[in-house]
């Protein structure tokens, strides 16, 4: 079987079996192509896929060293290595020999940064202060509805922008969301979300069909994510919020505030659509970090300890 036909089978497997989005598949393709180009140059010939099992641990380390020399971040290289492992597993499923060298390669260590959520007051101000912006009323209403939904329901920006008019939860207390990997989840909807959506839909100058995008751009098409990101940058500068305030930060804020109030890790996992509980556990670290700051600021013993440390 030729390299091209195997390559096509692999991408189809990612889309149809692994249920990956077209964006993710393109990223996988880019990482694999970069790896294959390096090995072809390394061996000074085009390697057939059926011979990739002969690559040694030194070949993989040479590729990792090349990426390090070229300035690739550890997170990027870890993802690329995951893609290569994925491709070799696919080749093994197709009857080709597995690679023992790859099994010995360790992924680069990644420092996991904690999400930087807004405070409750900041999140509320972001939504309420939108009305003070010098924009068309329906666009301000659209932004207010979008950001209220992101913060109240913990949606990803892409999930919100793929909603259609018929999916708008105006008469329902829940919303069916199609997340990553086409996974579905049901999210509770607060009355404030319904109200903000009703106001936006009433003011929008464009006619809504059932399959029309719920959030429309200035010309009546689907709202571009870049426009939503630009809008939030404008609003945060206007009301003095930090640069870390992004549409995705609203999702983080939703999870963090729920963790502070309830501690229900499993419920937050379901709300956010995380496939692994380990992904959601980062919010317990965020809440612990917040708790420690409160402790250091307010607890008498903490103040005393800080004073003793300063005196010493």
Which residues lie across from 177 on neighbouring strands? 185
Name the fold adopted by 120-293: hpI Integrase; Chain A (1.10.443)
CA-CA distance, 168 to 166, in Å (whole number)? 6
Let me know if 230 is a catalytic residue: no
Do residues 200 and 145 make contact, with C-beta atoms less than 8 angstroms apart? yes
Instruction: Please say whether the structural domain 3-103 has been given the CATH code 2.30.30.
Output: no
Let me know if 274 is a catalytic residue: yes
Let me know if 156 is a catalytic residue: yes
**Which pLDDT band, with edges at 50, 70 and 90, does 226 fall under?**
very high
Let me know if 283 is a catalytic residue: yes
pLDDT attached to residue 176: 85
- Catalytic residue, chosen from 165, 236, 251, 257, is 251
**pLDDT at residue 298 tops 70:** no
- Catalytic residue, chosen from 74, 79, 248, 290, is 248
pLDDT attached to residue 81: 92
- Catalytic residue, chosen from 67, 194, 257, 274, is 274
CATH 1.10.443.10 in the chain, residue ranges: 120-293
Task: State percent of the chain over pLDDT 90.
Answer: 29
**Mean pLDDT rounded to a whole number for the chain:** 80
- Catalytic residue, chosen from 180, 222, 233, 290, is 180
84-104 pLDDT per residue, tens = 999 998 888 888 878 888 888
In degrees rounded to 5, what are phi and psi of residue 72?
A: -65, 140
**pLDDT at residue 275 tops 70:** no
CATH 1.10.150 in the chain, residue ranges: 3-103
What's CA 155's distance to the chain center, in Å? 10
195-222 pLDDT per residue, tens = 999 999 999 999 999 999 999 999 999 9
139-177 pLDDT per residue, tens = 999 999 999 998 888 888 998 999 999 999 888 888 888
């Amino acid at each position: 079987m030729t390299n091209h036909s195997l390559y096509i089978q692999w991408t189809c497997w990612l889309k149809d079996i692994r249920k990956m989005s077209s964006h993710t598949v393109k990223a996988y393709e880019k990482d694999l192509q970069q790896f294959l180009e390096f090995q072809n140059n390394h061996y000074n010939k085009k390697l057939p896929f059926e011979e990739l099992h002969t690559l040694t641990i030194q070949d993989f380390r040479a590729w990792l060293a090349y990426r390090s020399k070229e300035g690739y971040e550890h997170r990027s290289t870890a993802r690329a290595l995951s893609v290569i492992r994925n491709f070799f597993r696919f080749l093994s499923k197709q009857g080709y020999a597995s690679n023992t060298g790859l099994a010995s390669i360790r992924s680069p260590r990644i420092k996991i940064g904690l999400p930087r959520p807004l405070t409750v007051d900041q999140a509320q101000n972001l939504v309420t202060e939108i009305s003070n912006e010098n924009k068309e009323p329906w666009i301000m209403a659209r932004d207010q509805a979008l950001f209220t939904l992101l913060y109240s329901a913990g949606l990803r920006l892409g999930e919100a922008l793929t909603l259609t008019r018929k999916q708008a939860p105006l008469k329902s207390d829940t919303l069916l969301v199609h997340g990553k990997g086409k996974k579905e989840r049901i999210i509770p909807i607060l009355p404030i979300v319904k109200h903000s959506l009703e106001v936006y839909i009433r003011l929008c100058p464009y006619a809504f069909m059932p399959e029309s995008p719920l959030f429309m751009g200035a010309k009546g098409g689907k709202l571009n994510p870049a426009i939503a990101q630009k809008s939030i940058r404008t609003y945060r500068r206007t009301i003095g919020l930090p640069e870390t305030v992004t549409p995705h930060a609203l999702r983080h804020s939703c999870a963090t505030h729920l963790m502070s109030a309830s501690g229900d890790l499993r419920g937050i996992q379901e709300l956010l659509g995380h496939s692994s509980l380990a992904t959601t556990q980062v919010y317990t670290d965020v809440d612990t970090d917040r708790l420690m700051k409160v402790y250091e600021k307010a607890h008498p013993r903490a103040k005393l300890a800080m004073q003793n440390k300063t005196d010493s």
